[in-house]
């Protein structure tokens, strides 16, 4: 069975059949006629032939920092749902938070002719920019605001500013912050700056010793909380840059005999499964990760199809979800 035969049986042109299989415009009447013939004959177009004809592989490379992350999983779900409806398949590259692997995957995807790349990265270095510039296909970055690049990102600065104010409005006056390294501009630097600005605007103490950094392991939240507590034993509020870190912080406070939220109020970030799996349940900041994935995929599709986009930098909002850790 060939496209010519499909066209004759459906009573349409070869061009209409070609557009049908390549997601181009076909009138509803012709689309239904082609669909019936395809269903009756069981015809499946050859991927190799389509690639040769359209110069498109229908493959999208997606580079992720880690698999064991609620945020990453939601973003990938959003990407997958949007792209699969357009006939694309994902090639997933898990880097384990290794920057060198991110650069390697950019090279691999460039050599293997994907139609586009979506990069979820905790940082974008000059090496990343050079690798992106070498790509023969469009790239969308999710999670970081990178000047001159197509990106979907979150309002991390404002989110931490507002959630810190949320604690201040609950009469917290001695607040500490557990965040990520500043090399991660969004999750690290922007969230830290939002915390500092909120304290300064409220004329509350803001010393370097109130701020510490953590990796994503739960134990690190525990250990860093221990260090902060030794400096501020009378602390009454903790802002954590992730729910996972907040779980460790709460565990330490409870081991010290502190009651959460009566003695110390704690907030996290990401609205992950952790937020509802601990006692007390965790007040947290919810970012719209699935929406970010869908919007990133839609932006990439427009770039692949050379359709003008209204903006190449899109910032998404957030919600503060109050639970028992601050009530």
In this structure, the answer to whether residues 193 and 261 fall within a common structural domain is yes
Q: What is the pTM of this model?
A: 0.80
Cα atoms in the Cβ-side hemisphere of radius 13 Å centred on 168: 17
Closest CA to 155 of 196, 194, 201, 195: 194
In this structure, the answer to whether residues 68 and 217 fall within a common structural domain is no
Residue-by-residue pLDDT tens, the chain, 327 positions = 788 889 888 999 988 988 888 777 889 999 999 999 898 888 776 655 555 455 578 999 999 998 888 899 999 999 999 999 898 999 999 998 888 999 999 999 998 889 999 999 878 889 999 999 999 899 999 999 988 899 999 999 999 999 999 999 999 999 999 998 887 888 889 999 999 999 999 999 999 889 998 665 555 889 999 999 998 999 999 999 989 899 999 999 999 999 999 999 999 999 998 899 999 999 999 999 999 999 999 999 999 988 887 779 999 999 999 999 999
How far CA 136 is from CA of 93, 117, 131, 169, in Å, comes to 18, 10, 10, 51
Is the Cβ–Cβ distance between 133 and 170 less than 8 Å? no
Distance from C-alpha of 193 to C-alpha of 182, rounded to nearest angstrom = 10
Report yes or no on 327 lying in a domain.
no
Closest CA to 64 of 141, 174, 175, 157: 141
pLDDT confidence of residue 52: 46
pLDDT confidence of residue 54: 52
Burial, 53: exposed, middle or buried (Cβ in 10 Å; 0-12, 13-18, 19+)?
middle
Report yes or no on 321 lying in a domain.
no
Give the DSSP H or E segment for 319: strand 318-321
In this structure, the answer to whether residues 262 and 295 fall within a common structural domain is no
CATH of the domain at 281: 3.40.50.2300
Report yes or no on 322 lying in a domain.
no
Decide: helix, strand or coil at residue 246: helix
Q: Which domain holds residue 8?
A: 3-54
Report yes or no on 325 lying in a domain.
no
Decide: helix, strand or coil at residue 175: strand
Report yes or no on 97 lying in a domain.
yes
Report yes or no on 221 lying in a domain.
yes
In this structure, the answer to whether residues 118 and 206 fall within a common structural domain is no
In this structure, the answer to whether residues 133 and 168 fall within a common structural domain is no
Report yes or no on 194 lying in a domain.
yes
In this structure, the answer to whether residues 163 and 267 fall within a common structural domain is yes
User: Domain total for the chain?
Assistant: 3
In this structure, the answer to whether residues 103 and 167 fall within a common structural domain is no
In this structure, the answer to whether residues 261 and 301 fall within a common structural domain is no
Report yes or no on 35 lying in a domain.
yes
Cα atoms in the Cβ-side hemisphere of radius 13 Å centred on 69: 22
């Amino acid at each position: 069975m060939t496209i010519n035969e499909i066209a004759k049986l459906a009573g349409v042109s070869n061009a209409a059949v070609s557009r049908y299989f390549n997601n181009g415009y076909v009138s509803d009447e012709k689309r239904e006629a082609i669909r019936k013939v395809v269903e009756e004959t069981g015809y499946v177009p050859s991927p190799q032939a389509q690639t040769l004809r359209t110069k498109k592989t229908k493959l999208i490379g997606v580079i992720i920092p880690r698999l064991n992350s609620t945020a990453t999983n939601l973003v990938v779900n959003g990407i997958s749902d949007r792209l699969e409806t357009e006939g694309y398949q994902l090639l997933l590259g898990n880097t384990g938070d290794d920057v060198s692997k991110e650069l390697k995957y950019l090279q691999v995807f460039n050599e293997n002719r994907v139609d586009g790349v979506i990069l979820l990265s905790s940082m974008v270095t000059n090496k990343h920019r050079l690798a992106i510039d070498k790509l023969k296909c469009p790239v969308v970055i999710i999670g970081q605001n990178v000047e001159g690049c197509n990106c979907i990102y979150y309002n991390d600065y404002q989110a931490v500013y507002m959630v810190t104010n949320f604690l201040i409005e609950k009469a917290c006056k001695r607040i500490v912050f557990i965040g990520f390294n500043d090399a991660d501009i969004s999750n690290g630097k922007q969230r830290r700056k939002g915390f500092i600005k909120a304290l300064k605007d409220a004329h509350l103490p803001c010393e370097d010793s109130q701020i510490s950094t953590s990796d994503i392991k739960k134990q690190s939240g525990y250990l860093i909380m221990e260090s902060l507590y030794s400096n501020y034993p009378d602390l009454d509020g903790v802002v954590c840059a992730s729910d996972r870190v907040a779980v460790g912080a709460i565990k330490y406070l409870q081991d010290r005999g502190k009651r959460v939220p009566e003695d110390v109020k704690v907030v996290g970030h990401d609205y992950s499964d952790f937020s509802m799996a601990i006692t007390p349940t965790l007040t947290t900041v919810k970012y719209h990760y699935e929406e970010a994935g869908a919007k990133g995929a839609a932006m990439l599709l427009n770039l692949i199809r050379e359709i003008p986009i209204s903006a190449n930098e899109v910032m998404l909002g957030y919600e503060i979800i109050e639970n028992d850790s601050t009530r």
